[in-house]
Structure 1
Amino acid sequence: MTSGRGSAHLFARRAAFVLLAFAILTGHGVEAAFNYARYQETSLDDLLALPRPANGVDIKAGAPLKLDVILVNADGPCATGFLRRAMTMTGFDPTGAIGISNCITVRSAKGKQLKVFVQDIVYGFLPREVPVGGKLTLYAVHLYTSADGPGLLVNEFQTAQPSAQPSGKPPSETAMASCGCWALRDHPGIDVDAGKEGAPIAVIEEGVVVKLEPADQAPADLPVIGGCGRYVVLKHTYPNGAVLFTRYVHLGRLADATGQPPAVGARFKRGEKIAEAGPDRIVHFELRPVALGNTTADAAWVKQYDGIADMEWSRYEPVDPKKFDPDAFGGLGKRGK
């Protein structure tokens, strides 16, 4: 995650996603924030120089390591079968709850390269935040060593590049977002200008409608859930088992390509129309990945919505669509947008 004040909130949110996964991997309880201090600063060159078995693998205890590296390639989907077996053999993640389907290739200070595994929720951010050739710090656990080198799983990362500072005075966090529904500090997504009233709103990925709010004056309910007029929520299930909810908010007419209103349970393909922009042309868009540690801790939510099927999407916290890559999260690699 790029350093700097402007990105601090997103960094804390992404770190929260991996807390429970980290707890499973290490056998330690979840803490209030990602525990960077537990990771021991280690040279990747020193790690690569350690003895390797001539045959088979040596299973490791999952030592937490902090590694300064350079990104060579955000490779994408990779075979994780042996990693999974090593995790099971050592008692880490015995139920397979942690999403892992992607790898990256990194380079050490002396120019040696290594392919490492990355949690899917972390990989959802990494390729968009770290350019090829960029410096980054990995927080990883060492799960095995084979003839090819150490088998590492990345739980979190930081980048060395400072954030670009916008010119002029930044907007107040108490100012309203362009959709007019939330203050900027509470804004759970991005607002897009559709260009004109009635412009078609298309779904970003094939999915199933799980929630429709047809009322233009829908009540606010809890923060970042209601109070922004008509909305539609879709559930997307990816080949790697990852699940993502998308929400399209502040809509005009709810209508598909035939002019008919969508129905709960209806399936839409990527790029198909699901609604139209309203009079002010602004559409609010959210991504809510289903990930360990990304569930709301709000007691008010539990009291009001727990057990209500069509509000399950709101159990999961939204992420910044400008920083999160759904294709990477879903194990789809690079493809045309």
Structure 2
Amino acid sequence: MGSVFDLPALVRLSAFAAMILMLLGGTASAFDYSRYQPEDLDVLIDRDPPAGNGVDVYPVRNIRLEVTLAAQAAPCSLSLPDVPKSVPGTKIDFLKWAMRTSGIPKEWIDRVAITSCVQVKSAKGKPLPMFIQDALSDSLAKEVAPGGKVTLYAMLVFFDQRGPGIVINEFMRPQTQTAQTGRDGTTDCGCGRDFHSGLDFSAPEGTSVPVMADGVVVKVEQDEAANVDVPSAGTCGRYVVVKHSYPNGRSAYTRYAELGRLIGNDGKPITIGQQVKAKDKIGEVGSQSRFHFEVRPVEGATADQTPKWTQLYAAVPGMEWSRYAPVDPQKFDDEVYGGKKAAATAEKN
């Protein structure tokens, strides 16, 4: 899955998570799956068309659709209806006009290239062309063949005589939906079967993923199909776990998952026991153009003490991280948790 276009209803990230975006130079963004509400594509297609030759543009709606892919990306001019005479230019010009009219900021529209459309079919087999971000086209072609089922995360922008005008922001194929929908209504990349265990970021393939604090590597998983049999871990592909120790005696694990190559600043493979500094490269974004980040504070109250965990992982080196429950990275402040802020205040006084 490629780079995403997330509208600017931005969540407040903790300094720990926000640094990811800063270090990646703005090439990554946290995709908020929970903002996309399920819609029935057949209902949208069957909506009465606007009067005359008009176009209805409403405030943009973030929707989630279950569809069948009918055809891969092709120039939109091959599949979309004619541009209304009142809006000069190409079909993409019309789309941009409709997006601005629906309330999407111009700077976001200008940043995202959209030149192609894909054909999909609804549950009842009705065909519909949809706009797709250029950054997603190659990934979709690699991951979903025509005739395959796919979940689309998209924006409903307008209705014209042929039906709804929809822009695809992200997609998820069925086999990657290990986690699907959790208790809080969010969805993740498969890391965590009971609930969303962290943040999913989208970034171009090959983008360096940085470590967020000093620590030591305790786990390196090279198996792309790796699965951890605890509810909050799930299937996360290749991943690296780093343990961070703080001045107040506390510690926490961070996990960087769904990665491509697990290499450091020097281009050499990441190894267990390796000391890393904040901002060091821990790996690269893989071919699915995304990665998963989570934080697991070492807290006795959240430790998995069940016989199942003990039997499976107590004697397995590097799996201690899976004992502890993940927390929302958007709310975790490592400086507060680790006593850094308290120490800095004491020094000033």
| TM-score range relative to shorter protein | 0.3 to 0.5
User: Could you tell me the TM-score, scaled by structure 1's length?
Assistant: 0.46
